[in-house]
Chain A
Amino acid sequence: MSNQPKFGEIEYLNPKEIEFSYSSAGALRFTVKDRYSVIKVDIGCCFPLKSPNHFIWVKDTKNNELGIIESITDLDQASQKCVKDYLRKRYYMPNINSVSNLKEEFGLWYWETMTDRGSRNFVVKDPRQNIINLGQGRLLIIDVDGNRFNVDNYDLLNPKVVIMLDRLV
């Protein structure tokens, strides 16, 4: 890019000047109006857990950072939708809405849950390590395969589950 930012500076992307869209095949395309367009970029959150809608980095396929978007909501509607869809895919972290069964056996926790992306059963080992308390009742759960699940407030799950989780956090 013509004017390289100084070392250590954050290069903010001006939300009014940039656009995201999907190519016909479905790759995420990034355009800085009147300057350049990249056929495929990767975008991600600097703070995927605490603040998934702010500080979004944009990188090209060679892993060079093109800049940072301060807030998704500043983008135009179409771009916003593209970005949100992409991030939802990139951070595959279904939200657990309810737990129909939770069983502990030999240190393994067997979950039967309903998530915002459909029903899912999974197994968690070493729960003390893989169920992470993010504060205010929010949990991040990582199963034996490395899949991630989010719980917004575990106090709202069924009482039996709450009791089991209380022991951990």
Chain B
Amino acid sequence: MEAANKKTGGVPVPQLKSLSDAFLQSIEATKGKVILSQYSDINEQGVYGDRWLIVTSKFIEVYVEKSTENYTLERSLSWDEVVEVNSQNLVGSGIIEATTENDIVPLLQYSNSYAREFNYVVRALSKMHALSETERENYIYRGISDSGKKFCEKCGRLIPEWTASCPACIDKGAILKRLLAYAWPFRKQLILLTLLMLGGTALDLLPPYLGGVILIDKVLGGKPENGRQILAMVVVGLFAIQLLGTLFSVIRGRMAAWLSASLVYELRKKTYESLQKLSLSYFDKRQTGAIMSRVVHDVNGLNNFLIEGVQYFLVQVLLLIGIGAILFSINPKLAFWVIIPAPVVVFLSFHFWKYIWKLFASFWHRNSKMTAVLNDSLSGVRVIKAFAQEDRELDRFDQRSRDLYNASVQAEQSWATLFPWLSFVLTLGSLFVYFIGGSDVLLGTATVGQLVTFMNYIGRFYGPLQFLSRITDWLTRSLTSAERVFEILDAQPDVVDAPEPIRLPHIKGDVRFENVTFGYDEHDPVLQNVSFTVKAGEMLGVVGHSGAGKSTIINLLCRFYDPNEGRITIDGVDLREIAQQDIRSQVGMVLQETFLFNGTIAENIAYAKPKATMEEIVRAAKVANAHDYITSFPNGYDTFVGERGARLSGGERQRIAIARAILHDPRILILDEATSAVDTETEQKIQEAIDRLVQNRTTVAIAHRLSTLRNADKLIIIEDGKIVEAGSPDELLAKKGHYYNLVMAQEIKSKAEEEKQHEQPA
């Protein structure tokens, strides 16, 4: 977004660009009605600047904005000259081009910040191109409703996708409140916990007082008549305090352990639930590792904050006040000398902890990098061995490991050096008190007991100070953790059920795509204007080059994503209206990448129907031609397949996926390259299994080997996201178009292979 000069807190504020009315009027006077205008941030030299595309009923023009009053015409094309208008996505920018009779005119370039806008413009231009001038005059350009980004009205900051309100303008109190709301169900325990902690703290404060001012001054120093009695009472008192304190801390510890486990459990459950609800597009945009770290680490961070942190904070503050009050009540003059070094303590510990934190943060960062390398090389161990790259991996690991070693040495050594010195400096404060308090005792203005009490309190007084000096950092970190967890909790799935979804408990299986356009990035369409129909019980074959958009069609049919334009219907009902549950329960898939969960073969086959009987499982496996090889394993159906089914061959995995689909018994079956990457014999077995599977249900099958689609009722040929040919296999063969060529090419290849085999008899 274009930055304006006005800034709020150093953060750029976007500016909605507009043309001056006077200028627009001057154009309308000579060039026809202005239909649309669009700003671009790159000028004619390819550097940042201001340019405009202005489209009137007669012309397509580009202007350079010299100032808000001064525009110069750079290019002008009349609609009659234009054959076609296109946009081309480049790297980090895009360009609009107009094709004329004998040339191609680059109209203007725009940065990716305006890619969405220009994509809309180009679509509008293509529509306008088909119109006459008078029709164009009546064309209404709606523009883009939202630019996909929101900016805070108050401060102009970009609002992250996951929140409705600006995180900077929302008061931190609100986040804190929300956080505390998660602890609300445990409020009784938390209050009790806090009371116990306060009690414990109060008890903690007593012994120095009893042992100092009371014991030394009143009993030992005062030598009263019933001295022994009082002494005994003081000792018993100290004993009782110790005992009570111990009890308190045991109860508190047990309770805190229970509470924090419960809270983490709840939070994690909620986070995970929310994750499972999200659409695939959420996961497309994020790394698995980053999401995992939120579920694992950030949730822990929140827990520490809520259980330990809040209480700790309260206790430290009360300690500070309590000890301060006691000290002043015993001896104000000495207490004053205790306060004097306080700013130094705060200053030193602030910087000390900041420095140490940084070192340890770098240590953790490198630690996770090393783990990543380890993870990488362990999962890729086959590839490493196959290419004999053990040494290189060793180097890679060694480098990370050494980085970690360096960070670790630096962090630990700094800690080992600085911490004793910090403690040393802190004890200097007590030396003051020794000297001044000692002098006072000698002069008789203070008592020995007072001095001893002070010495005991002083250490406890500086502790909370150190803690409080770091409070803002600690809060920020916790709040950031909270934000990260809330992002997941608040994220809205793109694909949601309609408010009143239509239930289709028994799908017939009519599938229809109507002018579907879709892109994973909206401004980069992968499918364009795709239309086809499959009647219930029919088989549709989808053919096309790698990357043409075949799997994308399937993703849309399963409603993993919603189309940007057009619609998809099942039994005549728009997919977006149907309850997702009804779609998912009646659409079955055998996907390109077979995913098996960590578990047994039986569990994997019964994944969609966990209550399946043994008979059902075995029957499904038989239909899938998987039974024979499964029973040859020592553990049969109870064979553990390991992570992602690593212990099975590709074809074996594929057949388990087919068995899974058979057991699921879907109304609509989707096969994405179910026979890729297997030998001919296995392919035949899989093909047999599929042939049994497709009976009586609507099937959409993708296959590279065209022979597998012979039985299809209808084929569509996709090229670059568009359907270039459609019809039955026989029709298409007769037509001698794309399909015919593909078939011929494959036949020639397989014939050549056959001949080769004949030439070299085994």
Taking Cβ atoms with an 8 Å cutoff, the residues of A that contact B are 23-27, 39-40, 42, 48, 88-94, 101, 103, 105-108, 110, 112, 115, 117-123, 125-126, 128-129, 144-148, 167
Question: In the complex the two chains form, is A101's CB within 8 Å of B10's CB?
Answer: yes
Residues of B within 8 A of A48 (CB): 91
Considering the chains assembled together, what is the distance between the CA atoms of A103 and B8 in angstroms?
12
Given contacts A48-B91, A107-B484, A118-B47, contact A89 B3 (CB under 8 A): no
Question: In the complex the two chains form, is A106's CB within 8 Å of B47's CB?
Answer: no
Question: In the complex the two chains form, is B90's CB within 8 Å of A89's CB?
Answer: yes
A interface footprint on B80-95 (CB within 8 Å = 1, 0 otherwise): 0000000010111101
- Contacts A107-B160, A126-B290, A145-B111 aside, 4 further interface pairs with beta carbons under 8 A come to A89-B109, A94-B48, A107-B484, A121-B3
B150-204 contacts to A, CB under 8 A, are 157-158, 160, 167-168
Given contacts A25-B103, A27-B105, contact A144 B90 (CB under 8 A): no
Considering the chains assembled together, what is the distance between the CA atoms of A30 and B123 in angstroms?
29
A30 CB, nearest partner CB in chain B, Å? 13
Contact for A167 among B104, B113, B362, CB less than 8 A: B362
A135 CB, nearest partner CB in chain B, Å? 12
B636-683 contacts to A, CB under 8 A, are none
B91-109 contacts to A, CB under 8 A, are 91-93, 95, 97, 100, 102-106, 109
Taking Cβ atoms with an 8 Å cutoff, the residues of B that contact A are 1, 3, 9-12, 42, 46-49, 88, 90-93, 95, 97, 100, 102-106, 109, 111-113, 115, 149, 157-158, 160, 167-168, 286-287, 290, 361-362, 365, 480, 483-484
Question: In the complex the two chains form, is A106's CB within 8 Å of B168's CB?
Answer: yes
Contact for B112 among A112, A129, A146, CB less than 8 A: A146
Residues of B within 8 A of A112 (CB): 3, 10, 12
Question: In the complex the two chains form, is A25's CB within 8 Å of B100's CB?
Answer: yes
Question: In the complex the two chains form, is B111's CB within 8 Å of A121's CB?
Answer: no
Residues of B within 8 A of A93 (CB): 91-92
Question: In the complex the two chains form, is B46's CB within 8 Å of A117's CB?
Answer: yes
Residues of B within 8 A of A167 (CB): 361-362, 365
Question: In the complex the two chains form, is A145's CB within 8 Å of B113's CB?
Answer: yes
Residues of B within 8 A of A120 (CB): 3, 48
Question: In the complex the two chains form, is B160's CB within 8 Å of A147's CB?
Answer: no
Question: In the complex the two chains form, is A103's CB within 8 Å of B104's CB?
Answer: no
Question: In the complex the two chains form, is A40's CB within 8 Å of B104's CB?
Answer: yes
Considering the chains assembled together, what is the distance between the CA atoms of A112 and B47 in angstroms?
16
Considering the chains assembled together, what is the distance between the CA atoms of A91 and B90 in angstroms?
7
Residues of A within 8 A of B112 (CB): 145-147
Given contacts A108-B160, A117-B46, A148-B92, contact A27 B167 (CB under 8 A): no
Task: Offer 23 A-B interface pairs, CB within 8 angstroms, sorted by A.
Answer: A23-B103, A25-B100, A25-B106, A27-B104, A39-B104, A89-B95, A90-B90, A92-B46, A92-B91, A106-B160, A108-B160, A117-B46, A117-B48, A118-B49, A119-B48, A120-B3, A122-B12, A123-B12, A126-B286, A145-B112, A146-B112, A148-B92, A167-B361
Question: In the complex the two chains form, is B157's CB within 8 Å of A105's CB?
Answer: yes
Minimal Cβ-Cβ distance residue in B for A119: B48
Residues of A within 8 A of B49 (CB): 118
B56 CB, nearest partner CB in chain A, Å? 20
Contact for A23 among B104, B168, B361, CB less than 8 A: B104
Considering the chains assembled together, what is the distance between the CA atoms of A23 and B106 in angstroms?
10
Residues of B within 8 A of A123 (CB): 12, 158
Given contacts A24-B103, A27-B104, A118-B48, contact A144 B158 (CB under 8 A): yes
Closest 6 interchain pairs by CB? A121-B3, A118-B48, A92-B93, A121-B12, A92-B92, A117-B47
Considering the chains assembled together, what is the distance between the CA atoms of A14 and B1 in angstroms?
43
Question: In the complex the two chains form, is A92's CB within 8 Å of B365's CB?
Answer: no
Question: In the complex the two chains form, is B103's CB within 8 Å of A92's CB?
Answer: no
A128 CB, nearest partner CB in chain B, Å? 8
Considering the chains assembled together, what is the distance between the CA atoms of A148 and B94 in angstroms?
12
Considering the chains assembled together, what is the distance between the CA atoms of A121 and B104 in angstroms?
33
Question: In the complex the two chains form, is B483's CB within 8 Å of A107's CB?
Answer: yes
Residues of A within 8 A of B158 (CB): 108, 123, 144
Given contacts A27-B105, A167-B361, contact A106 B91 (CB under 8 A): no
Considering the chains assembled together, what is the distance between the CA atoms of A146 and B157 in angstroms?
18
Contact for B113 among A27, A88, A147, CB less than 8 A: A147
Residues of A within 8 A of B46 (CB): 88-89, 92, 117
Given contacts A89-B90, A117-B48, contact A125 B160 (CB under 8 A): yes
Contact for B105 among A25, A91, A128, A146, CB less than 8 A: A25
Considering the chains assembled together, what is the distance between the CA atoms of A107 and B294 in angstroms?
13
Contact for A106 among B111, B113, B480, CB less than 8 A: B480
Considering the chains assembled together, what is the distance between the CA atoms of A84 and B48 in angstroms?
18
Question: In the complex the two chains form, is B160's CB within 8 Å of A110's CB?
Answer: no
B1 CB, nearest partner CB in chain A, Å? 8
Residues of A within 8 A of B102 (CB): 39
Residues of B within 8 A of A23 (CB): 103-104
Considering the chains assembled together, what is the distance between the CA atoms of A40 and B665 in angstroms?
53
Considering the chains assembled together, what is the distance between the CA atoms of A24 and B46 in angstroms?
18
Considering the chains assembled together, what is the distance between the CA atoms of A112 and B42 in angstroms?
17
Minimal Cβ-Cβ distance residue in A for B285: A126
Question: In the complex the two chains form, is B48's CB within 8 Å of A110's CB?
Answer: no
Considering the chains assembled together, what is the distance between the CA atoms of A108 and B160 in angstroms?
8
Residues of B within 8 A of A88 (CB): 46
B256 CB, nearest partner CB in chain A, Å? 30
Residues of A within 8 A of B97 (CB): 27
Question: In the complex the two chains form, is A106's CB within 8 Å of B149's CB?
Answer: no
Residues of B within 8 A of A24 (CB): 103
Considering the chains assembled together, what is the distance between the CA atoms of A115 and B48 in angstroms?
9
Residues of A within 8 A of B113 (CB): 145, 147
Considering the chains assembled together, what is the distance between the CA atoms of A20 and B160 in angstroms?
45
Question: In the complex the two chains form, is A26's CB within 8 Å of B483's CB?
Answer: no
Residues of B within 8 A of A90 (CB): 90-91
Minimal Cβ-Cβ distance residue in A for B86: A61
A65 CB, nearest partner CB in chain B, Å? 15
Minimal Cβ-Cβ distance residue in B for A166: B362
Residues of B within 8 A of A40 (CB): 104
Question: In the complex the two chains form, is A103's CB within 8 Å of B483's CB?
Answer: no
Minimal Cβ-Cβ distance residue in B for A110: B11
Minimal Cβ-Cβ distance residue in B for A116: B47
Minimal Cβ-Cβ distance residue in A for B11: A110
B450 CB, nearest partner CB in chain A, Å? 48
Given contacts A27-B104, A106-B168, A123-B158, contact A148 B91 (CB under 8 A): yes
